[in-house]
Amino acid sequence: MTLLTYREAAIEIEPGEDVLSALLRAEIDAPHSCRSGVCQSCMHRAVEGNPPAAAQEGLSDAQKSLGYFLACVCVPDRPLTIVPAQETAIRSEVVVHSMERLSGDVVRLRLEHDSDFTYRPGQFLELITDDGLRRHYSIASLPEDDPFVELHIRLHPGGRMSRFISDELAHGRRLHIAGPLGTCIYEGVDPDQPMALIGSGTGLAPLIGVLRDALRRGHRGPIRLYHGAREREGLYLHDHLQALTKRHANLHYIPRVLSDTGPHGGDVAAAALDHENALPQTAFFLCGGEKLVGRLKRDFYMKGASLKQMRSDTFLPAGSGR
């Protein structure tokens, strides 16, 4: 017998029994469909213990490293504590450390958090206001080096969370967050693999997190970071990124500004699609608006890139069906 812990209930798994069958036997209404490891509707996450490799087949390397697995093909031989995949966001309290303008409409928010909030750069969290407004933001900081969680937030004119952030947030203000969520992280990338990080606007936030993680771990392959903006001011970390390229010979920074006709002028997606060539080997990180991410995924796939090597976060507006 192997012990399974699910929402504080202890369930004995019988020899040869899979986790999904054990949950259903315990009258837990676990979602499922094919019961053969194909549809992924029975995905759970192990928060303690390691699921067997066979239960993670077909999942991305990032999902594997975060403990996701398919319950219907998971026959564990060691104890596991699990939660449904969609319930991994843990709610906690944070305190605003600082907020500063990075450009006309982008602010950097730094939040103090307690040690229970563990994350990888590139994941995202949900900011929650006292009256229940919730919005997702990607994490640009590196937990090994940064004492604060760092977010880059574009303030949308008329946006509800944007208004709350600009009118009410200041040093010392308490807030709730839920998370972390998402698998757009460095885990699973081979240190010699080429990496292409492509984003527009505050899509740079998760990319910066992933980039710093890669550099800190001594990534050896070429890393090309493409950042697109409508106006020159939108390249809000231009100087920092240029300085970083001087310290890392394998890092290339390719900025593109739509309204510009100079050397940095043009469309970021077109630049990336033109420059990238080692497509099947490249690890792609695609972040930003729906149109950009959708176009890059489709066009790179059509040109020979591997979907398994694409990690992405689409900054969908709230209430758009996600």
Q: Is 162 in the site for ligand FAD (CB under 6 A)?
A: yes
Q: Is 202 in the site for ligand FAD (CB under 6 A)?
A: yes
**Sign of the torsion angle spanned by Cα atoms 249, 221, 290, 166:** negative
Between residues 230 and 303, which has the closer beta carbon with respect to ligand FAD? 230
Q: Using CB distances below 5 to 8 A depending on partner kind, what does residue 70 bind out of ligand FES, ligand FAD, none?
A: ligand FES
Q: Is 42 in the site for ligand FES (CB under 6 A)?
A: yes
Q: Choose, by CB under 6 A, the member of 70, 196, 210, 268 that binds ligand FES.
A: 70
According to DSSP, the residues that pair with 98 across neighbouring strands are: 110
Q: Is 92 in the site for ligand FAD (CB under 6 A)?
A: no
Shortest gap between Cβ of 92 and ligand FAD (angstroms)?
Answer: 18
Nearest-CA neighbor of 3 among 31, 22, 30, 29?
Answer: 22
Give the type of residue at 308.
K
According to DSSP, the residues that pair with 288 across neighbouring strands are: 314
Furthest-apart CA atoms within the chain: distance in Å: 68
Q: Choose, by CB under 6 A, the member of 40, 88, 92, 166 that binds ligand FES.
A: 40
CA 274/CA 305 separation, integer angstroms: 14
Contact by Cβ (8 Å): 108, 99: yes
Q: Helix and strand tally (H, E) in the chain?
A: 7, 16
**Contacting range for ligand FES; rule: CB under 6 A; set: 38-46, 75-83, 133-141, 183-191:** 38-46
List residues near ligand FES by CB under 6 A: 32-35, 37-42, 70, 72
- Contacts to ligand FAD by CB under 6 A: 124, 135-138, 151-154, 156, 158-162, 202, 205, 289, 313, 315-318, 322
